[in-house]
A = this chain, B = another copy of it.
Amino acid sequence: MPEMIIHTQKTQEMIDITSQVGEAVRRSGVQTGLCLVYVPHATAAIVINENADPNVCQDILDALGRMVPEGAWRHDRVDHNAAAHIKATILGPGETIPVRGGGLRLGTWQSVMLVEFDGPRDRTVIVEVR
B98–A49 contact, CB under 8 A?
no
Contact partner of A95 (CB less than 8 A), chosen from B48, B85, B86, B93, is B93
When distances are taken between beta carbons in the complex, the residues of chain B under 8 Å from A32 are 1, 128
Query: Cα distance A55–B77 when bound, in Å?
Result: 10
Main secondary structure of the interface of A (DSSP, over half): mixed
| 16 further interface pairs, Cβ-Cβ under 8 Å (given A92-B92, A93-B95) | A1-B98, A36-B98, A38-B98, A38-B105, A41-B110, A42-B48, A42-B107, A53-B78, A59-B73, A60-B89, A67-B67, A93-B110, A94-B95, A94-B96, A98-B126, A130-B130
In the assembled complex, 28 residue pairs joining A and B whose CB atoms fall closer than 8 Å, in A order, are A32-B128, A33-B128, A34-B36, A34-B96, A34-B130, A36-B96, A36-B98, A38-B96, A41-B110, A42-B49, A42-B50, A42-B107, A42-B109, A49-B85, A49-B89, A53-B75, A55-B73, A55-B78, A56-B75, A59-B73, A59-B86, A63-B73, A89-B91, A90-B90, A91-B92, A93-B110, A94-B95, A130-B130
